[in-house]
Structure formats: C-alpha cells, structure tokens
C-alpha cells in the first residue's frame, strides 16, 4: 500500500500537495501580479514552486494556460537557487515529465524542458538587467526581492496575445526599499494582489519551532521574520550593547576554554587581529587583540604570538581579500581559514553578520546575560581625542545602518562598515567579531593552497 501511494504521488505530486489558507488564497487570486510579503518559514517558496509547476504542467485550477509556457525563475544567486527554489520545484515536477535539463554549473539548473513543451529558465540577479532581456514569458517568478531595474525590465517580457503573470515571494529583510513604495503602498492597482502572512498563518509550525526561531532575534528582526512586516533599519546596528553588561576585565586567560583567532588583514587600512575564547557555557569572550596600520606579515605574526601566551588555537579565520597574506602567514606557522562569505536563504551577507551579533549580544531569557563579552583592555591612543580609547567598543558604539542606492529606486539598508570622515578607517574589529560568530560552528577544513582565484581544500 505504501509503495502504491508513493507511486501515485510521484506521478502527480501537485494533486497531493497541502496548502494552508494563505497559500490557497494566493492560488485563487486572479490579478496578474501576485506579491507575497511573508515571514520566514511561512511557506512562500513552497507555494511559489507549486504555482510554477501548475503553469509548467498546464494544470492550473484558476488560470487558462493554452500554450506551452515560457517561464523564468529568478533568485538572488545560482547558489541560493540550488538550495531553495530548485529543491522545491523538484518536489512538484514529476521526473517522468522532465524531458531535458541543462545546467549552468554542477547540479544547478539552467533550463528544464517538460513533455508539455514548457520551458523553465533560471536566472540570477547577479547577472544584471541585460540578462533579463529577451522574448516574452508566460510567468516570471522572483524568489526574494530583485533589484528594481530587473523588475522593471521583466514587465516588457509580454508576448502579443499571451498574458504575463508575475510572482514575487519575499521576506522584507532589506527594510523599506522600492518594493515598499512601488508595490506595498500601491493599494489602488487593480492588477496587483498583495498578501501578508506570518508564523501563526502556518499551521504546521509548532510552538517549539517558533520559540527556537525567535531566540536571539531583536524586536525589529522578529517583526520581519515572524510577521513578514516592513521595518526600516535605522540607528545603531548593535543597539543591544551596554558597557555595564558586555564590557569585562580579564586578569588571566582560562586554558580550559576553546581558543580561536580572527584576522581582518590590511596595510594602509589597519590589520585587526582578535583572540577569542569560548567558555563551557558557549559564551564568547573577545579577550585580546591589536589594531595597527603598516604591519608587515612577520610583524603581524610576532604581535599575535606575544598575545596568545602559549594557548592552543582550535581554529582561525582571515578575510579573503588578501590571499598572499594568508599564504605568507601559513608559511610562518599561522594557518588561517579564508572566510566563506555566503548569504543564506532570504538573507544578505550583511544581515547575517548583523543578526549574528544581535543573537549573541541580546540578553538571554534563561540566564539574564548576553552570550558575548568584550575586554576592557583593547586600548589604543586616539590622536583626535588625545587619550586612550577602547577601539573595539568605539566601533560597536558607532556602527550604524546606512541607506545606499545603486541607481533608480533600488535602495538597500546595510551596516556602514567604514566611516572615514569620523574615524578615518573601516570597522575592522566588529566585522572580525561577526566573521567569527558565523564561522566557528561550521565544519573546519584545512586549506592547502590558493589556485586560480579559489582556495583548494
């Protein structure tokens, strides 16, 4: 019986697909542009894959699809496509109906052709506007917010006599960008369907799952991820910071802790090195470090050796901007792993860094304490103030959200990782801390060499 049920599902997975009320409402909507402003784990990408599969298989209960459709599926990157939309589509496109697949790179779809004659082409926002020019389409699916110029370009992809449907499934992680002004506020547009949904709209999310996902998130991040709401990021990135809570004095280094190091290398811009301990409760302690300009490779190594005091390093990381520095340090016995700067599902790299800082910085409900602490000994002479200053505290207390524009209506809110007018340098210290937070629980792979613009494991 189980084998027969599986066979039936494999032949027609859409027939057995479950939908909650918000997903059903979006399927029934007749508007040509459907936009889902949903929180994470509400089922927006799941619904998008189901909907695209209905078009591709010409089996939609509310839309007339007369001809084999030309379909575009677009994501922020091909890496995110491989992990998100592609995996979802595999569930709803029967293998027996797929006649051909071409790949843009290993295991990453470029085009899928079905026995209906439908063609699904996969696009990345990283390709830019020009790659979104071409012949007309029947449906275009954007999973996560696209740049405005790409969105605009896609609305001329309409073939004479063939309707164009556009789907956008997204979480408003970038704040109040062009989608807020041009779509969310466009309430009088008869061709536009807007849907909002949060965790409570997904009946399959358990209370325990919701509590786990909410852990460590700021109130603003919860608004976005739990409720799918727009929140304008403004003010300080580390608004959770309190000197009386997070700043500590360390008389000696606890050798029972696990010890790590992080280097954000530089020459004209300072090289920033941090010594970080993780205690038995998994709390993070930034206990020592230095931040200096014009240091040669052997000087970086020498200063680092003078601070670790014979501690055994569990692992270390370095920014990837200077492969030669990484190689030179390795030859001196300081082996560091290049940072893997990857965005995740529904998240930009900058947001991942900011959220990790908040996850460890906010007061935890169970303990009444944060999970990250900073040494009061990270001092340097500030020539502008004429006194010694804790340089890492200075960065934490001044790192702000900044609105940036790449042209047109495409505005993004990012941490301002440099402030040359005020400090004359980048925020290397707090960035190095955030690099550590996103890295130390990942698997640690030894790096052999840098070859042809990539690190070889």
Is the whole model's pTM more than 0.75, yes or no? no
Return the pLDDT at 342: 67
Region 80-107: mean pLDDT is: 94
Return the pLDDT at 457: 46
Phi/psi of residue 168, nearest 5 degrees? -130, 120
CATH architecture label of 243-456:
2-Layer Sandwich (3.30)
Mean pLDDT of the residues in the chain? 85
More confident residue, 152 or 101: 101
Sorted by sequence, the CB contacts under 8 Å of residue 164 that are 6+ apart come out as 32, 136, 137, 138, 139, 140, 155, 157, 158
In a 13 Å sphere around the CA of 385, the CA atoms on its Cβ side amount to: 11
Q: Is the pLDDT of residue 76 over 60?
A: yes
Structure tokens at 306: 């003078």
- CATH code assigned to 2-224: 3.40.50.300
Q: Is the pLDDT of residue 455 over 50?
A: no
CB atoms under 10 Å from CB of 360, counted, come to 21
More confident residue, 6 or 411: 6
Return the pLDDT at 413: 65
Q: Which letter does DSSP use for residue 349 in this model?
A: H
Q: Is the pLDDT of residue 93 over 90?
A: yes
Q: Are 122 and 140 a contacting pair, CB within 8 Å?
A: no
Sorted by sequence, the CB contacts under 8 Å of residue 398 that are 6+ apart come out as 236, 419, 422, 423, 427
More confident residue, 455 or 50: 50
Region 179-183: mean pLDDT is: 89
Structure tokens at 133: 């020019």
Return the pLDDT at 383: 61
Structure tokens at 125: 């926002």
Return the pLDDT at 174: 77
Q: Is the pLDDT of residue 275 over 80?
A: yes
Q: Is the pLDDT of residue 108 over 80?
A: yes
Q: Is 192 helix (H, G, I), strand (E, B) or coil?
A: strand
Return the pLDDT at 404: 62
Q: Are 57 and 89 a contacting pair, CB within 8 Å?
A: no
Q: Is the pLDDT of residue 452 over 60?
A: no
Find where tokens 């190689």 sit: 327
- Opening angle at CA 27, ends 24 and 28, nearest 5: 90
Stretch(es) of the chain classified as CATH 3.30.420.280: 243-456
More confident residue, 343 or 14: 14
Return the pLDDT at 373: 97
Region 54-60: mean pLDDT is: 95
Q: Are 197 and 47 a contacting pair, CB within 8 Å?
A: no
Q: Is the pLDDT of residue 119 over 50?
A: yes
Q: Are 40 and 213 a contacting pair, CB within 8 Å?
A: yes
CB atoms under 10 Å from CB of 87, counted, come to 12
Whole-angstrom Cα distance, residue 197 to residue 167?
A: 16
Whole-angstrom Cα distance, residue 229 to residue 322?
A: 39
Q: How confident is the model over 10-50, as pLDDT tens digits? A: 788 898 889 999 999 999 999 999 999 999 999 999 999 99
Instruction: Compute the Cα dihedral for 179, 180, 184, 186 and give only its sign.
Output: negative
Q: Which of 141-150, 294-303, 358-367 has the lowest mean pLDDT?
A: 358-367
Per-residue confidence band for 67, with pLDDT thresholds at 50, 70 and 90: confident
Find where tokens 């007309």 sit: 136
Structure tokens at 253: 């280094």
Sorted by sequence, the CB contacts under 8 Å of residue 378 that are 6+ apart come out as 286, 288, 289, 291, 390, 391, 392, 393, 429
Q: How confident is the model over 358-413, as pLDDT tens digits? A: 889 988 877 889 999 999 999 886 666 567 889 999 889 888 877 665 555 455 66
Stretch(es) of the chain classified as CATH 3.40.50.300: 2-224
Q: Is the pLDDT of residue 159 over 70?
A: no
Q: Is the pLDDT of residue 438 over 70?
A: yes
Q: Is the pLDDT of residue 422 over 60?
A: no
Pairing between strand 284-292 and 271-278? antiparallel
Sorted by sequence, the CB contacts under 8 Å of residue 371 that are 6+ apart come out as 282, 283, 284, 359, 360, 361, 364
Burial of 268 (0-12, 13-18, 19+ CB in 10 A): exposed
For 117-135, give one letter per residue: b (16+ CB within 10 A) or e: ebbbbbbbbeeebeebeee
Q: Is the pLDDT of residue 90 over 50?
A: yes
Phi/psi of residue 331, nearest 5 degrees? -65, -20
């Amino acid at each position: 019986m189980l084998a027969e049920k599986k066979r039936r599902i494999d032949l027609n997975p859409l027939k057995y697909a479950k939908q909650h009320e918000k997903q059903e409402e979006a399927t029934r909507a007749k508007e040509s542009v459907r936009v889902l402003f949903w929180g994470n784990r509400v089922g927006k990408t799941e619904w998008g894959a189901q909907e695209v599969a209905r078009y591709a298989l010409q089996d939609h209960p509310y839309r007339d699809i007369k001809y084999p459709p030309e379909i575009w599926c677009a994501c922020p990157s091909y890496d995110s496509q491989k992990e998100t939309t592609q995996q979802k589509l595999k569930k709803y496109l029967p293998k027996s109906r797929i006649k051909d697949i071409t790949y843009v790179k290993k295991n990453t779809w470029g085009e899928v052709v079905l026995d209906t004659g439908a063609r699904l082409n996969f696009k990345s926002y990283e390709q830019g506007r020009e790659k979104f020019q071409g012949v007309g389409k029947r449906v275009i699916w954007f999973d996560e917010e696209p740049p405005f110029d790409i969105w605009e370009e896609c609305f001329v992809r309409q073939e004479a006599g063939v309707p164009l449907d556009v789907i956008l499934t997204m979480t408003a992680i970038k704040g109040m960008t062009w989608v807020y002004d041009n779509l969310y506020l466009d309430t009088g547009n008869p061709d536009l369907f807007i849907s909002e949904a949060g965790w409570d709209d997904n009946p399959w999310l358990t209370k325990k799952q919701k509590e786990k996902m909410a852990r460590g998130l700021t109130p603003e991040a919860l608004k976005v991820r739990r409720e799918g709401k727009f929140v304008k990021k403004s003010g300080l990135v580390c608004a959770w910071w309190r000197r009386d809570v997070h700043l500590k004095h360390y008389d000696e280094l606890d050798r029972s802790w696990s010890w790590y190091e992080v280097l954000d290398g530089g020459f004209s811009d300072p090289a920033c090195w941090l010594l970080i301990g993780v205690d038995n409760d998994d709390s993070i302690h930034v206990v020592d470090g230095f931040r200096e300009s014009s240091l040669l490779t052997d000087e970086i190594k020498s200063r680092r050796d003078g601070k670790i005091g014979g501690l055994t390093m569990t692992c270390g990381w370095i920014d990837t901007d200077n492969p030669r520095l990484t190689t030179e340090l390795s030859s001196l016995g300081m082996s560091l792993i290049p940072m893997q700067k990857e965005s995740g599902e529904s998240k930009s790299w900058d947001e991942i860094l900011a959220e990790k800082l908040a996850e460890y910085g906010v007061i935890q409900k169970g303990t009444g304490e944060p999970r990250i602490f900073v040494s009061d000994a990270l001092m340097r002479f500030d020539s502008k103030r004429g006194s010694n200053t804790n340089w890492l505290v200075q960065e934490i207390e001044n790192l702000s959200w900044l609105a940036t524009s790449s042209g047109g209506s495409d505005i993004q809110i990012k941490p301002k990782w440099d402030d040359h007018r005020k400090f004359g340098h980048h925020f290397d210290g707090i960035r190095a801390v955030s690099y550590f937070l996103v890295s130390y629980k990942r698997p640690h792979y030894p790096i052999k060499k840098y070859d042809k613009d990539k690190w070889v494991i």
